[in-house]
């Protein structure tokens, strides 16, 4: 069907992707814990895996894409308390905000978006199974713990060996645990905390179990791809494997994908460091598509350094691509062009979007050349360019509309005013009053509007 290679964190190698069920892919991605706005790091996960899904579909797969929402955890409880708000109200607020950000980034909706709080029954029964199978125990404080020593494969994903990890140094020693790396499956509720009934009293699920429950419920015990940010590799994903495989007795996931971090000044962007930009903030200055391009301009496993310069470059790059698409009617080619083939080769190599994008630029260059010389060929190339852009979620807007759109939420001159100025300038031009014509052009330039003359016809775009 294809020769898609994916880097599997489990084997630390690129592997030929082969779905469990021919033609179908089950994909689970760890989504947001909803207690705050999404930052650019979250945007990266969304865009990267959205691109993975789009590309898998481009290859002809039917994709079951599940991206969960964690809507109960300690931080949510704290925030709700601070805001004097019911926790479910708080989470709903940020779920809505998240959906807005996703729309801005042209991220498609997943097939399913399960909420942890809607899967409590499944979570409880999974924990019960783990207890029954002696993989979990109830501590003296009433919390239920997973026993890492009971699972022989523990550490396979992260490469951590229990013996080598210095417990007590970085990990707090907890009297209730048999092993310091044992982790909570069920947490007893304190007074006033949100709680659900369980055989172990009122409480809530621990951090990792909800993903095991939701993933296996939505996609089956064994599925194709599981993804998320690098930092989830350990302990979150390691624990998911331990829980799921111990409970079901089956292999959990074939391919593990982890995306790299967004950095600021060579440091990880993170909530705990406080050095993050929210998607919302960045959208005040840049178009969603510019952010999306920025994310895809480097390989998903590489670090991605955030800066205005980078976003500005993305802006220029998109301007070039959209400019190439102006004034050409795309016409579908009957054969797969060399460009598209090279694009697919790049994407087949572990979703190398950076390389794939470079092919798009080569195509744009050819398109620019052929526009005047051979319009029919140009139309085919325009379609090729769009064919490549589609799985990346780029270039989906009308070129003229894009180029004339305002970036961010800045106050801008209206289109009507611009057209009026252009009409004035045309008058000046016909009178060969170059001084006035240039003056008007300069004025518009100061408003961020660039004019392009083609004889007596003038097109405009915003910078």
Partner RNA sequence: GGCUGAGUGGCAGAGUGGUUAUGCAGCGGCCUGCAAAGCCGUGUACAGCGGUUCGAUUCCGCUCUCAGCCUCCA
101-140 mask for RNA (x: CB under 7 A)?
Answer: ----------------------------------------
- Cα–Cα distances in angstroms (integers) from residue 129 to residues 114, 126, 188, 246, 428, in the given order: 22, 5, 18, 9, 82
Position 176 contacts RNA (CB under 7 A): no
Q: Does 277 bind RNA (CB under 7 A)?
A: no
Token reading at 280:
């919302």
Q: Which residue has the tokens 């100025």?
A: 421
Among 4, 291, 357, 394, binds RNA (CB under 7 A): 357
Are the C-beta atoms of 418 and 395 separated by less than 8 Å? no
Gap between the Cα atoms of 108 and 120, Å rounded: 27
Check if the beta carbon of residue 178 is closer than 8 Å to that of residue 272: no
User: Among 53-61, 104-112, 313-321, 391-399, which window interacts with RNA (CB under 7 A)?
Assistant: 313-321
**Per-residue contact string for residues 321-350; x = within reach of RNA by CB under 7 A:** --xx---------------------x--x-
Among 21, 62, 271, 284, binds RNA (CB under 7 A): 271
Q: Which stretch binds RNA (CB under 7 A): 89-97, 136-144, 160-168, 332-340?
A: 160-168
Q: Which residue(s) pair with 309 in the sheet?
A: none
In the region spanning residues 221 to 260, those forming contacts with RNA, defined by CB under 7 A, are 228-236, 259-260
**Backbone dihedral angles phi then psi of residue 458, each to the nearest 5 degrees:** -120, 130
The correct pick among 313, 400, 404, 448 for binding RNA (CB under 7 A) is 313
Residue 166, token pair as written in the block: 């210095």
Q: Judge contact between 63 and 50, C-beta under 8 A.
A: no
Nearer to RNA, 19 or 146 (CB): 146
Fill in the DSSP letter of residue 234: I
Could you tell me whether strands 24-29 and 144-146 are parallel, antiparallel, or unpaired per DSSP bridges? unpaired
To the nearest 10°, report the CA torsion of 151, 155, 160, 164. Answer: 20
Evaluate the omega torsion of the peptide bond into residue 235 and state whether it is cis, within 30 degrees of 0.
Answer: yes
Instruction: Decide if residue 84 touches RNA (CB under 7 A).
Output: no
* Residue 168 found at the interface with RNA (CB under 7 A): no
Which lies closer to RNA via its Cβ, residue 358 or residue 377?
A: 358
Site for RNA, residues 415 to 434, rule: CB under 7 A: 429, 434
Structure letter (DSSP) for residue 13? E
For residue 311, the minimal CB distance to RNA (Å) is 10
Binding residues for RNA, total number by CB under 7 A: 81
Stretch that binds RNA, among 192-200, 291-299, 381-389, 415-423 (CB under 7 A): 291-299
Q: Is 261 in the site for RNA (CB under 7 A)?
A: yes
Per rule CB under 7 A, is residue 443 in the interface with RNA? no
263 binds RNA (CB under 7 A): yes
Closer Cβ to RNA, 61 or 276, answer by number? 276
**CA angle at residue 255 from 182 to 7, to 5 degrees?**
115
Q: Of 4, 106, 134, 87, nearest to 46 (Cα)?
A: 106
Can you tell me the distance from the alpha carbon of 211 to that of 26, in angstroms, rounded to the nearest whole number? Answer: 14
Torsion from C-alpha of 120, 126, 129, 134, nearest 10 degrees: -110
- Contact between 454 and RNA (CB under 7 A)? yes
Where does this chain touch RNA (CB under 7 A) — which range of 106-114, 130-138, 312-320, 416-424? Answer: 312-320
Beta carbon nearer to RNA, 323 or 397? 323
Question: Closer to RNA at the Cβ: 100 or 327?
Answer: 327
Q: Which residue lies nearer to RNA by CB, 218 or 364?
A: 364
Residue numbers 37-76 binding RNA by CB under 7 A: 39, 41-42, 44-45, 75
Alpha helices per DSSP H over 189-261: 209-219, 238-248
């Amino acid at each position: 069907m294809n020769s898609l290679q994916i880097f599997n964190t489990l084997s630390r190698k690129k592997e030929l992707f082969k779905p469990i069920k021919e033609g179908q892919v089950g994909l689970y991605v760890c989504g947001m814990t909803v207690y705050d706005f999404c930052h650019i790091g979250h945007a990266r996960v969304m865009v990267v895996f959205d691109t993975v899904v789009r590309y898998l579909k481009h290859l002809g797969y039917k994709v079951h894409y599940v991206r969960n929402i964690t809507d109960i955890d300690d931080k949510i409880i704290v925030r709700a308390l601070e805001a004097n708000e019911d926790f479910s109200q708080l989470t709903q607020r940020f779920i809505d905000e998240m959906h807005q950000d996703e729309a801005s980034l042209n991220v498609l909706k997943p097939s399913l978006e399960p909420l942890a709080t809607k899967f409590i029954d499944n979570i409880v029964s999974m924990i019960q199974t783990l207890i029954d199978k002696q993989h979990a125990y109830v501590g003296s404080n009433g919390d239920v713990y997973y026993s890492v020593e009971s699972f022989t494969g523990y550490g396979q994903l992260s490469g951590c060996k229990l013996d080598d990890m210095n417990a007590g140094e970085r990990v707090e020693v907890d009297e209730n645990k048999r092993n310091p790396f044992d982790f909570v499956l069920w947490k007893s509720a304190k007074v006033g905390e949100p709680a659900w009934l369980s055989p172990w009293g009122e409480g809530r699920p621990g951090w990792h179990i909800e993903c095991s429950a939701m993933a296996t419920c939505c996609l089956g015990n064994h599925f194709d791809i599981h993804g998320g940010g690098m930092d989830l590799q350990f302990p979150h994903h390691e624990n998911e494997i331990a829980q799921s495989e111990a409970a079901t007795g089956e292999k959990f996931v074939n391919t593990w994908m982890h995306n790299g971090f967004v950095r600021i000044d060579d440091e990880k962007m993170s909530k705990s460091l406080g050095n993050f930009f929210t998607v919302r903030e960045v959208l005040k200055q840049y178009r969603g598509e510019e952010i999306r391009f920025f994310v895809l301009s480097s390989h998903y496993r590489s670090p991605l350094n955030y800066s205005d310069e980078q976003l500005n470059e993305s802006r220029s790059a998109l301007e070039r691509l959209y400019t190439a698409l102006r004034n050409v009617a795309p016409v579908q080619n009957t054969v797969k062009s060399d460009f598209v083939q090279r694009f697919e080769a790049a994407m087949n190599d572990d979703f190398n979007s950076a390389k794939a994008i470079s092919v798009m630029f080569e195509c744009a260059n050819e398109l620019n050349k052929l526009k005047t010389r051979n319009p029919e060929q140009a139309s085919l190339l325009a379609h090729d360019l769009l064919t490549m852009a589609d799985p990346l979620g780029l270039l989906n807007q009308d070129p003229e509309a894009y180029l004339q759109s305002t970036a961010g939420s800045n106050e801008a001159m209206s289109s009507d005013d611009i057209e009026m100025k252009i009409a004035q300038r045309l008058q000046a031009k016909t009178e060969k009053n170059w001084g006035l014509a240039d003056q008007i052009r300069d004025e518009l330039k100061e408003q961020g509007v660039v004019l392009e003359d083609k004889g007596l016809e003038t097109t405009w775009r915003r910078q």
